Structures are given as C-alpha cells and as structure tokens.
Amino acid sequence: MMEELSLHILDVCQNSINANASLIQIFIVENTEKNSLSIEIIDDGHGMNEETLSHVSDPFYTTRTTRKVGLGISLFKMSAEATNGTLKIESKEQIGTKIKATFELDHIDLAPLGDIEDTLVILALNDKFIDIFYSHQYNENRFEFDTRKIREILEDTPFTAHGVTQWMKEYIREGLNNIHKEETK
C-alpha cells in the first residue's frame, strides 16, 4: 500500500477542520544528512479526551457516527512505520492536537510527497475560514505559505476570486522548486 504523503496530510487536516481548529500548522522537514523526513501537523481544535487518544492509531477506531471505521491516522502511521519511522500524537482537550510522523528519506517504501500545491489550496479554501500555515524545510532552505498573510495581501478579495487559486498554486510550486534546488555554494 503506497499512498501519497499529501493525501495523509489532507486527511489529518480534515480531522483538524472537524475539530473546529482556527489555525492548522504544517511543518515538513527534510534532512538529507540525517536521512529523515518529518511531517508535523498542529491544530488548535477541541482536542481529544484520553479515551479517544489511547485508541486513535488503532485501525477502525472512530468517533464518527456516519460510518464505523476511522482509518486516517492509522494509515498515516503504517506509512511511517513502513519506512522505519514513527507516528506520535499529543492532544489536550480544549487546547489542540499535534501529530508528528517521521520517515526514512531514502527508504524504498517512502511514498512520494504528491501534489502539495493542490493540497494546500484545497485546505485554504475550507469554508470555515481556518487559516493554514505551511513551512517546508529542505536542509538549510525553507519555504513558507501562510493564509493569514495572503488574506492581508488580498484585503477584501476572497480566495475564490478569479485567478487566486492559480496564483497560490504557482507560488507554492515555485517555492518548493526553489528549496529543492542544489545548493550552489
């Protein structure tokens, strides 16, 4: 089973949206020297009680009422463990939730990152106006995308206005390409 990492990110952020977060922070760190990739997602939603937290990475545990399986987090954990990595969750009721997955960067079973620009634009367009902060570090280089800053730049123009999502996608793609360029030192 090989799922793009961006789909896991979307899935975890969907949980944050359901938990009524107002800000979702996504931190990606690629370190070639340490041979590691980490994906950390932090929200300020309603969090989980001890009971939910203790079961959350079991496949089939869910508090959903529409269907009886909850696979999002357990699949993410399986993807991490398939590369000798780990998945850790911290959560506090009324405070929020932190999920951190680590992967071995050169592992043959590491799924591709996938389409980050599409993922971020889908998240940015959420209809609850939840802000998204994305930070992606590749060794010494860093790219950031912050919907709070974009709201400031756009003033009263909504994210759904003509051309805005296209502009966001190009901005993200260019930023990610730049940090992955060979360091020219």
Ligand X SMILES: Nc1ncnc2c1ncn2[C@@H]1O[C@H](COP(=O)(O)OP(=O)(O)OP(=O)(O)O)[C@@H](O)[C@H]1O
* Residue in the shown chain whose Cβ atom is closest to Mg ion: 72
Tokens found for residue 111: 């799924």
Distance CA 29, CA 40 (A): 9
Q: Which stretch binds ligand X (CB under 6 A): 59-67, 77-85, 100-108, 144-152?
A: 59-67
Bridge partners, 89 (sequence order):
99
- CA angle (140, 90, 120) in 5-degree steps: 50
- Tell me whether residue 9 or residue 150 sits nearer to ligand X (CB atom): 9
Distance CA 158, CA 164 (A): 8
The answer to whether 71 contacts ligand X (rule: CB under 6 A) is: yes
78: partner contacted, choices Mg ion, ligand X, none (Cβ within 5-8 A by kind) = none
The answer to whether 45 contacts Mg ion (rule: CB under 5 A) is: no
C-beta separation of 38 from 100 below 8 A: yes
The answer to whether 72 contacts Mg ion (rule: CB under 5 A) is: yes
Distance CA 182, CA 45 (A): 38
- Site residues for ligand X, 13-52, by CB under 6 A, read 15-16, 19, 43, 45-48, 52
Using CB under 6 A as the criterion, which residues of the chain lie in contact with ligand X when the complex forms? 11, 15-16, 19, 43, 45-48, 52, 56, 61-64, 69-74, 97
